[in-house]
Homo-oligomer: A and B are copies of this chain.
Amino acid sequence: MTDASPAEASSAGAASTALAPTDAPADEATQRLAAAIDLQTVRVVHAIAAHGSLTAAAAALGYSQPAVSQQVRRFQERTGVALVERAGRGIRLTESGRVIARHARAVTTSLEAAAGELAELKGLRAGRLRLVAFPSASPTLVPELIASLGARHPGVAITFVEAEPPEAVEAVRENRADLAITFSYPGDRDDPHRASARGLAVRAFGDEPIRLVLPAGHPLAGLDDVPLERLADDPWIAGCPRCRGHLLELAAAAGFAPRIAFETDNFVAVEGMVAQGLGVALLPALALRATPRHPGVVVRPTAREDVRSLHLVTAKGAERVPAVAAALRALEALDPGGRAAAAVGSIDDDV
């Protein structure tokens, strides 16, 4: 029967049934089989199909020959489906084996695509970082972070939204942001990192000095550091609403209640007002670092070296998210509190 007339007799309906795509909701037998198919079997069968023998497949996979042999045998044992049959001193795939080999490509391709995307994320050639930070970080820390991160990992898409600490923390909690840069005052009554940050990961990010901003001609402008109580009678310009709380606290600690003449959350405006002699102000170092010093003001540390604490807030476990991890590393590399750069008198020497 080499090339003799093949008297073929096909039973009725064979092709139609055999070729019908299985879009029916997997019957029980299918499900049992699907559960029995493990990736190792798929890989092994794929290798066998590609290389033609168990030995060659084993070599290609970096396994020993018996390992492959057993893998195949186990599948047969637990499913009753033979994948190979002996052919001379070698083997060949059965119909079932070829079925698996055929689908193996699709599976491994999908998995490799997934692995590729993961590698992109892990290698930070992809991924995203949704950043939230308080206003005075916007012109300082945030651009520095974005520059540093963008240079090292051009594939990471960074988005930034400005928000005060409570809203920033909430954004992380609600998964609208991956990383929040926040601050808190030592005795903050409603420190968002106390109540509302539970369930989140909060990292200390150093302390940011609080500076006194005085008109250039102020009587105390000559002092190296200024005791707050000596400004008890000066009019005050309060910064952002939250900063105002801090001012009240520091003043109380110094034994007086500040007379707040003006209020604005625009720290550039604060400087302008101080320069005009409308009052004195407390500003965090970062806010001062954002712009060149106004010629009409002088900046002095407070005698107590008051600070506010910076924090990095993420979801718990998010430190393992590559983009977040990279951002955290980049932030640590920055000068967190801005002490060095913001040291009095050397404010302008930007990095």
Does the CB pair B155–A30 fall under 8 Å? no
Chain A interface size, under 10 / 10 to 19 / 20 to 34 / 35 or more: 35 or more
Chain B residues with Cβ below 8 Å from A150 are 11-12
A351 CB-CB contact with B under 8 Å: no
Number of copies: 2
CB proximity of A201 to chain B, nearest CB, Å: 9
A123 CB-CB contact with B under 8 Å: yes
Does the CB pair B95–A128 fall under 8 Å? yes
A333 CB-CB contact with B under 8 Å: no
Does the CB pair B121–A99 fall under 8 Å? yes
Does the CB pair B199–A88 fall under 8 Å? yes
A261 CB-CB contact with B under 8 Å: no
Q: Which residue of B lies closest to A171 (CB)?
A: B1
Does the CB pair A162–B7 fall under 8 Å? yes
**Contact residue among B2, B82, B199 (Cβ-Cβ distance under 8 Å from A86):** B199
Chain B residues with Cβ below 8 Å from A316 are 85-86
**Contact residue among B18, B121, B158, B168 (Cβ-Cβ distance under 8 Å from A127):** B18
The answer for the CA separation of A229 and B104 in the assembled complex, in Å, is 65
Does the CB pair A155–B27 fall under 8 Å? no
A113 CB-CB contact with B under 8 Å: yes
**Contact residue among B15, B88, B127 (Cβ-Cβ distance under 8 Å from A157):** B15
**Contact residue among B6, B99, B102, B321 (Cβ-Cβ distance under 8 Å from A96):** B321
Chain A residues in the interface with B (C-beta under 8 A): 1-2, 4, 6-15, 17-18, 22, 26-27, 29-31, 33-34, 36-39, 42, 76, 79-82, 84-89, 92, 94-96, 99-100, 102-103, 106-108, 110-123, 125-128, 132, 138, 142, 146, 149-150, 154-163, 167-168, 171, 173, 175-176, 199, 315-318, 320-323
